[in-house]
Amino acid sequence: MHQPSALAIETSGLVKNFGETRAVAGIDLAVRRGSIYGLLGPNGAGKTTLVRLLATLLRPDAGSARVLGHDIVRAPQEVRQRISLTGQFASIDEDLTGIENLVLLARLLGFGRREARTRTDELITAFDLADAAKRQVKTYSGGMRRRLDIAASIISTPELLFLDEPTTGLDPRSRGQVWEIIRTLVANGLTVLLTTQYLEEADQLADRIAVIDHGRVIAEGTSAELKAQIGRAVLHVRLADPADRAAAERLLAARLGDHPVQGDGDPRALAVQAPDPAEAAAALGAMQAEGIVVTEFSLGQPSLDEVFFALTAHPAAPPESAQAEERQTETVR
Amino acid sequence: MTMAQDESLLQAALATRPRPAAPGAASHTFTFAWRALLKIKHGPEQWFDVIITPVMFTVMFTYIFGGALAGSTDDYLQFLLPGILAQTVMFTSIYTGITLNADISRGVFDRFKSMPIWRPAPLVGAMVGDTIRYTVSSLIVFAIGLALGYRPESGVVGVVLAIVLLDLFAFGIGWIFTTLALVVKSASSVMTLSWLVLMPLTFLSNIYVDPATMPGWLQWIVSVNPVALLVTAVRGIMAGTAGGADIAWALLAPAVVVVIFAPLAMQLYRRER
Give tens-digit pLDDT for A158-185: 999 999 999 888 888 889 988 998 998 8
Q: Provide mean pLDDT across the span B222-237.
A: 94
CA A42/CA A281 separation, integer angstroms: 36
* Closest Cα in chain B, distance from residue A73 (Å): 13
A185 to chain B: which residues are within 8 Å by CB?
14
In degrees and rounded to multiples of 5, residue B223 shows phi and psi of -70, -20
> How many inter-chain contacts (A to B, CB under 8 Å) are there?
122
pLDDT at residue B33, rounded to an integer: 95
For residue A32, give the 3-state DSSP assignment.
Answer: strand
- Asked if the model's pLDDT at residue B272 lies above 80, the reply is no
- pLDDT-based confidence at residue A232 (cuts at 50, 70, 90): low
Q: Which pairs count as long-range contacts for B190-197, CB under 8 Å and 24+ apart, including other chains?
A: B190/B94, B190/B97, B190/B98, B190/B101, B191/B94, B191/B98, B194/B94, B194/B97, B194/B98, B195/B94
pLDDT at residue A188, rounded to an integer: 83
CA B106/CA A91 separation, integer angstroms: 7
CA A226/CA A211 separation, integer angstroms: 9
CA A256/CA A277 separation, integer angstroms: 10
CA B20/CA A113 separation, integer angstroms: 13
CA-based nearest residue to A287, from A329, A325, A240: A240
Segment B193-203, tens digit of pLDDT: 888 888 899 88
- Asked if the model's pLDDT at residue A50 lies above 90, the reply is yes
Where are the strands (E) in A33-136, listed by range?
A: 36-40, 62-67, 70-71, 83-86
CA A301/CA B185 separation, integer angstroms: 49
User: Which stretch of A74-88, A128-142, A271-285, B130-144 has the lowest confidence by average pLDDT?
Assistant: A271-285
List the single residue in A95, A110, A181 with the smallest CB-CB distance to B20: A110
B35 to chain A: which residues are within 8 Å by CB?
93, 96, 104
Segment B176-198, tens digit of pLDDT: 999 999 998 888 888 888 888 88
pLDDT at residue A278, rounded to an integer: 84
The answer to whether the Cα torsion of A180, A185, A187, A191 is positive or negative is negative
Instruction: Report chain B's mean pLDDT, rounded to a whole number.
Output: 88
For residue A30, give the 3-state DSSP assignment.
Answer: strand
Find, in chain A, the residue whose alpha carbon is nearest to that of B7. A126
Residues pairing with B5 in the sheet:
none
- Asked if the model's pLDDT at residue A15 lies above 50, the reply is yes
Distances (CA, A) of B51 to A110, A126, B144, B196: 37, 43, 10, 22
pLDDT at residue B4, rounded to an integer: 47
For A215, half-sphere exposure in the C-beta direction (CA atoms, 13 angstrom radius) is 17
Q: Which residues of B115-147 are buried (b: 16+ CB within 10 A; e: fewer)?
A: bbbbbbbbbbbbbbbbbebbbebbebbbebbee
- Asked if the model's pLDDT at residue A284 lies above 80, the reply is yes
- Asked if the model's pLDDT at residue B30 lies above 90, the reply is yes
Q: Does B119 touch chain A (CB under 8 A)?
A: no
- pLDDT-based confidence at residue A196 (cuts at 50, 70, 90): very high
CB of B93 within 8 A of CB of B177?
A: yes
- pLDDT-based confidence at residue B240 (cuts at 50, 70, 90): confident
List the single residue in B19, B107, B114 with the smallest CB-CB distance to A109: B19
Q: How many CB atoms lie within 10 A of CB B15?
A: 11
In degrees and rounded to multiples of 5, residue A237 shows phi and psi of -130, 140
Rounded CA Rg of chain A = 24
CB of B99 within 8 A of CB of B126?
A: yes
List the single residue in A56, A184, A189 with the smallest CB-CB distance to B16: A189
Say whether B114 and A56 touch across the interface (CB within 8 A).
yes
CA B203/CA A268 separation, integer angstroms: 78
Interhelix angle B73-104/B155-183, rounded to 10 degrees, is 40
ipTM of the complex: 0.86
Q: Does B19 touch chain A (CB under 8 A)?
A: yes
Q: Provide mean pLDDT across the span A231-245.
A: 82
The answer to whether the Cα torsion of B106, B108, B114, B115 is positive or negative is negative
- Asked if the model's pLDDT at residue A141 lies above 50, the reply is yes
CA A219/CA B29 separation, integer angstroms: 45
Residues 6+ apart with CB under 8 A from A55: A79, A83, A85, A162, B110, B114
Q: How many CB atoms lie within 10 A of CB B213?
A: 9
* Between A306 and A122, residue with greater pLDDT: A122
Q: How many CB atoms lie within 10 A of CB A284?
A: 19
CA B210/CA B82 separation, integer angstroms: 13
B6 to chain A: which residues are within 8 Å by CB?
128
Say whether B39 and A110 touch across the interface (CB within 8 A).
no
Backbone angle region of A215, left / alpha / beta, with phi > 0 → left and psi within -120 to 50 → alpha: left
In A9-68, the residues whose Cβ lies within 8 Å of chain B are 52, 55-59
Residues 6+ apart with CB under 8 A from A212: A27, A39, A40, A41, A45, A46, A47, A50, A218
CA-based nearest residue to A37, from A23, A54, A24: A54
pTM of the entire predicted model = 0.82
List the single residue in B10, B39, B116 with the smallest CB-CB distance to A184: B10
The answer to whether the Cα torsion of A96, A100, A106, A110 is positive or negative is negative
